[in-house]
Structure 1
Amino acid sequence: MARRRAPQRAPEPIRATSMWRVDQVFLARRGPRIEVTCSLVNDQGGLRNLSVTAPTEDPVQAVRHAARFIAGKGNVSGARQARLRWTREQATTEQDALIRDRLLEDEFLDEFEETLAAVRDQQR
């Protein structure tokens, strides 16, 4: 007697547009410029990194430049509670690698929110 197979569940569809959230921001000096890498997560556990090299060596201007770039993507919904740190090679001790730069976090979030509001206004 042949056994019947249990019906297979259809695989979950891949969402064409997934909303992402900024989780962490890393800064690294690359000569006279600063490279900013944003780690993004989505509601389904996906992870992706976006990097941009700011045309400046000023950290405040670099995070503002990166915030405009990331918020302008259109499918990044927020950056609340995003942690900002310098990369390990920029830290002089292991403890330095753990320290968050809260002032730069505020700069990033302010610029991100302003750009995101402008993008949403344009879409209306």
Structure 2
Amino acid sequence: MARRRAGAHAPEPLRATSMWRVDQVFLTRRGVRVEVVCSLVNDRGGLRNLTVTAPTENPVEAVRHAARFIAGRGNVSSARQARVRWAREQSTTAQDALIRDRLLEDEFLDEFEETLSAVRDQQR
């Protein structure tokens, strides 16, 4: 039987018993696609990152694709106040890394809420 080192533990899975919310969204160009990393926090202070590679190079379509994926999981309850930024390696200056893309935030939230509503309707 394999032993674990003291202090090492498996990461907590995304479970329906723990509600998660989207905190931040980072975009990175990967060739002709956009990779979207969603940073999730739960009600017990846990943190998880989910990565989705959108089948497009359009950032608006990419965040909408990611929002559908995240909201469709069923245990992510909110995306309000989620910040959308381009990843650090995509920025040309240190200041660029701090700039939020409010248009993409609105697109992400709209698609997330729409998908979450559809999921909840199916569960009824």
TM-score of the alignment, normalized to the shorter chain, above 0.5: yes
The residue aligned with 1:123 is: 123
The residue aligned with 1:25 is: 25
The residue aligned with 2:8 is: none
Identity %: 86
The residue aligned with 2:87 is: 87
User: Residue type of the partner of 2:93?
Assistant: T
Task: Tell me the SS of whatever aligns to 1:94.
Answer: coil
User: Residue type of the partner of 1:30?
Assistant: R
Distance 1:18 1:107 in 2: 26
Stretches (4+) displaced over 3 A: none
TM-score (norm 1): 0.87
Number of positions where the alignment pairs a residue of Structure 1 with one of Structure 2: 110
Question: RMSD over aligned Cα, in angstroms?
Answer: 1.0
Structure 1 residues 1-124: aligned runs within 5 Å = 17-124=17-124
Larger radius of gyration: 1
TM-score (norm 2): 0.87
Deviation at 1:17, TM superposition (A): 1.6
Alpha-carbon contact 2:28-2:87 (below 8 Å) kept = yes
Distance 1:30 1:18 in 2: 32
Distance 1:17 1:34 in 2: 31
Alpha-carbon contact 2:85-2:101 (below 8 Å) kept = yes
Distance 2:16 2:62 in 1: 31
